[in-house]
Amino acid sequence: MAACLLAAGRLNHAHVSPGSSNRFKPLGSRSSIIYPASTWIIPILMAITFHEAAHAYAAWKLGDDTAFRLGRVTFNPLKHVDPFGTILLPALLFLTKAPFLFGWAKPVPVQFRNLRHPRRDIALVAVAGPLTNMILALASAVLFHLVWLFPDAAAPWLVQTLSQSILLNLVLAIFNMIPVPPLDGSRIAMSLLPSALARPYAKLERFGFLILLGIIFVLPMLGGQLGADLNPFRWLVSIPLAWLAPIFLRIAGVG
């Protein structure tokens, strides 16, 4: 499963003046819902599509053709989109101005017993998704240097869209590496654990979604009532993001 969780923070947006990729000025706020929504749609569709296609491609090349036979080795987003998890829930959170977005794509089916080296290949299939998101974040940063080629009217939208793409792909990569079923990090942990521990750990996946909801929603609310910081997202995602984001912004030329 690819779960998409976005922090309330935003990367600093900039306007790229034509003729120079190094001249930036702040981008004014936009009141229309359509404008900011449009800067999220393409990054979200690309992030989840490439993430899931990477899982499917890795599994296929490592010996399991289940996803390939189901048409999941493709960059067609319709093959990976979950109507509720990818569209309705994120849209509802966006329209209600929630401090984060949360959603998921259709999970890629993998028959681990078909993999040529199951313990090793489970980890390789799992890491393919987050690694692809890191590559997309890097590509988005590099594309900043081409924005000056576009008309002035399009430049602010392109910069904001690329900024969202960097943020989204970094968060998606970091979040999915958390070793909580059914996230990708749990598959990597499963491949590293001794068999005696891996089997009971794998059984947690049936409760994985409830565990995620508890971590994301219940613990922070409980912490608020107790006056304690019980927000694992802050510890596990925000700290790595605070370290990685400036690196990618420097690559983009806006850091």
Segment 19-23 mean pLDDT: 39
pLDDT tens column, 123-181: 999 999 999 999 999 999 999 999 999 998 899 999 999 999 999 999 999 999 999 88
Spatial distance between the Cα atoms of 188 and 119, rounded to a whole number of angstroms? 9
Residue with tokens 């409980």: 222
Structure tokens at 163: 């900024």
238 and 216 in contact (C-beta within 8 Å)? no
14 and 159 in contact (C-beta within 8 Å)? yes
Structure tokens at 168: 């989204």
**pLDDT reading at 208 higher than 90:** no
**Running DSSP on this structure, what letter comes out for residue 183?**
S
Spatial distance between the Cα atoms of 10 and 36, rounded to a whole number of angstroms? 12
pLDDT tens column, 210-235: 888 888 778 888 888 888 888 887 78
- Check if 205 is active-site: no
Residue with tokens 């994985």: 208
Greater confidence (10 vs 33) lies with 33
**C-beta contacts of 225-232 below 8 A and 24+ residues apart:** none
| Catalytic residue selected from 13, 40, 44, 52 | 52
